[in-house]
Structure 1
């Protein structure tokens, strides 16, 4: 193998080992989330129990669901469906049930005892042309139990459909499946702060749903992603590089994968076999170009100005500010970090309008923060969890902070 072929092979190995743009589906590359995996395993195949996986965007809900689908698929029927905004109760179930085949066999003509396949359809064909009801779905799913025991059905992006009736019908379906102990486990996956946001107004169904919250990953879990991925890519990694990646990721595996992938590719291009701490800044420079366009546009809109302003510095200080358990911070928290960023002492009135602009829903710089509380005691939280790590990376490249050194 010549050097170019070897480089391409090593590069493709890095790209497979880290996946910032797509959910992890290979359980050999999945790291962390042991508690959530154990909970799902204990729920699956228990009649009457279903699950809901919820949490903010970017914490790895889909990766967990994909890996668990792969694991359950070794012993049970499984289906995985990702909802879209235009989906209805019926369209979701038609897609889900299409994953479960029905094979009609008949004896072969003559004296042979062999059978032949007369027709092959799916459970979706049993729905007919009419919109399905929860009871119709229950009857069809009950056939799975009679035929082969158990099934696990994952419905991702459950918060996406615009149809308000869909969630109500799903709540009714879950209650019916639970009450009648149908051997099928539904796993709903969606972006939400709590279960009420996913199954609003249906308290009676909550007893049938085991809530699995996906918090941001711990430093130890993110460190496992770094080390496991680098091992898979046949690369060594310095501890300082790994610690810097973990710190800037702020609990979001997307950024851990993004930075490690860019660093790994760079190291391979350099003909090296170890990722050094000095590669961190180069990884950030490359990673900035791979962050979603939506995140980049939000940052540009919030900070752009034709004259010298404090918007970049204040936004960076918001990112660096001490947060409570709900991820909120106050103006005094921002003041302390703004002093670190600028090297100057600013009092709250000097940047209060900046916080107002960021938390407005109307202005050009708005839609960045959500503001809660009362005058002089406001607390703020980033709306998009993927934005703060990007702000930190921008601050690093612009020389506004060396906090991650």
Structure 2
């Protein structure tokens, strides 16, 4: 085999190239030298967290790069601004509670977090009088008392946790806060932030999660706004997406054509996850072939590999929705037109325009409207109605996946 047993030769070349350190679709960017396009948001993050009593809440849609911004900026802060301290990261899931989250930071900072019984010994001294027949005398008397006391831990109490943490310098990043199911648990996290702020703690808390508003992640805690500053990440603009593409390929010594840059930018639709995914597949193909020039042929092959490597939840939602109709191809065309629309909301008229301009199909608006209504009526559908005549994708990443799939389909058909 030219690539060695089980493709080991191919993998060895890719690993040595460093492509998977530059383009990281499946993990956050954690190296400042690979971080592009979020300078303005990073600057606000640094300014806020370096202010006494201030903590940070980073929120936005899935796939916009929230965790990458938070991790990269936190590490730069610790190294260059805050002068040290520990960096502790906790990624939440649906089983997490306030107690399980704070247990993570208590352990990392080696703070006692279990109830235990301790013995304290006290000495009591004094003069003891004794009487003897000849004379009276005083002797020194010492008594030792052993008292058992309980080291009381209260992991469910934000005030107790804040008391343990308030003198510890560092950053505690709590990622995917939206996964925490309990509203009371999110309120307690907000209360902990407020108490650390009140005590001017050198330990900074960074909350990261998927949300449309910051209050979604703090369960609407009323008094945390003054100390928990919001950094909302929206979709990146095209220039910043192109910066990721060009700078990444430049680091690898590879050269994409302008057509490739434009197509990747269009598919990404402001979501850096898809930029990294497609670029990685292009870079891998370039490394294996030894050709540093990345043209349309490399890109179209990379799109097929990108679809295979896409998140199963997206693939399953798309496939299940279309296959639930008798004529899935008709609905596939409508979904493709919707994916091409600019903005998060669209109408039947907007889809008709996109199909005319991009695919060369002229479909009546009334037919498109009926198909949209049918898709939105499906349980677990990929499109939902958001107003009179207006629709949107349930998952904001779906338009990019649909365009990615369309590009792969064209290559397969060819």
Q: TM-score range by the shorter chain?
A: 0.7 to 0.9
Instruction: Pick the aligned partner of 1:64 from 34, 45, 69.
Output: 69
- Cα distance change of structure 1 residues 345 and 235 upon mapping to structure 2, 3 Å threshold: closer
State how 1:206-285 maps to structure 2 within 5 Å.
206-285=225-304
- Cα offset, 1:20, TM superposition: 0.9
Q: Does 1:132 align with 2:146?
A: no
When normalised by structure 1's length, the TM-score is 0.83
Instruction: Decide whether the 8 Å contact of 1:44 with 1:152 is kept in 2.
Output: no
- Cα offset, 1:397, TM superposition: 3.4
Q: Does 1:311 align with 2:331?
A: yes
- Cα offset, 1:7, TM superposition: 6.1
The aligned length equals 365
- Cα distance change of structure 1 residues 335 and 236 upon mapping to structure 2, 3 Å threshold: closer
CA deviation string 1:247-271 (max 9, x = no partner): 1110111111111111111122222
CA distance, structure 2, for counterparts of residue 165 and residue 79 of structure 1: 23
Give the greater-gyration-radius structure (CA). Answer: 2
- Cα offset, 1:212, TM superposition: 0.2
Instruction: Decide whether the 8 Å contact of 1:48 with 1:208 is kept in 2.
Output: yes
State how 1:317-332 maps to structure 2 within 5 Å.
317-323=337-343, 327-332=344-349
Q: Does 1:351 align with 2:382?
A: no
- Cα offset, 1:390, TM superposition: 1.5
CA deviation string 1:344-375 (max 9, x = no partner): 4322221223212322352xxx431221223x
- Cα distance change of structure 1 residues 42 and 341 upon mapping to structure 2, 3 Å threshold: closer
Instruction: Decide whether the 8 Å contact of 1:86 with 1:163 is kept in 2.
Output: no
More displaced stretch, 385-394 vs 66-75: 66-75
Q: Does 1:384 align with 2:384?
A: no
- What stretches of structure 2 of length at least 5 have no aligned partner? 116-150
Q: Secondary structure at the match of 1:155?
A: strand
- Cα offset, 1:69, TM superposition: 2.8
Tell me the residue number matched to 1:76.
84
Instruction: Decide whether the 8 Å contact of 1:46 with 1:183 is kept in 2.
Output: no
- Cα distance change of structure 1 residues 230 and 10 upon mapping to structure 2, 3 Å threshold: farther
Instruction: Decide whether the 8 Å contact of 1:54 with 1:191 is kept in 2.
Output: yes
- Cα distance change of structure 1 residues 329 and 237 upon mapping to structure 2, 3 Å threshold: same
State how 1:362-373 maps to structure 2 within 5 Å.
362=379, 366-373=380-387
CA distance, structure 2, for counterparts of residue 308 and residue 296 of structure 1: 15
State how 1:159-174 maps to structure 2 within 5 Å.
159-174=178-193
Instruction: Pick the aligned partner of 2:195 from 154, 176, 182.
Output: 176
CA distance, structure 2, for counterparts of residue 394 and residue 123 of structure 1: 52
CA distance, structure 1, for counterparts of residue 384 and residue 327 of structure 2: 26
Instruction: Decide whether the 8 Å contact of 2:254 with 2:293 is kept in 1.
Output: yes
Q: Does 1:97 align with 2:102?
A: no
CA distance, structure 2, for counterparts of residue 99 and residue 10 of structure 1: 37
- Cα offset, 1:340, TM superposition: 4.1
Instruction: Decide whether the 8 Å contact of 1:237 with 1:276 is kept in 2.
Output: yes
Q: Does 1:36 align with 2:47?
A: no
Instruction: Decide whether the 8 Å contact of 2:167 with 2:203 is kept in 1.
Output: no
When normalised by structure 2's length, the TM-score is 0.82
Instruction: Decide whether the 8 Å contact of 1:48 with 1:178 is kept in 2.
Output: yes
CA distance, structure 1, for counterparts of residue 370 and residue 106 of structure 2: 53
CA distance, structure 2, for counterparts of residue 26 and residue 301 of structure 1: 38
Instruction: Decide whether the 8 Å contact of 2:339 with 2:403 is kept in 1.
Output: yes
Instruction: Decide whether the 8 Å contact of 1:76 with 1:152 is kept in 2.
Output: no
Instruction: Decide whether the 8 Å contact of 2:154 with 2:160 is kept in 1.
Output: no
Q: Secondary structure at the match of 1:205?
A: coil
- Cα offset, 1:199, TM superposition: 1.8
CA distance, structure 1, for counterparts of residue 225 and residue 299 of structure 2: 45
RMSD: 2.4
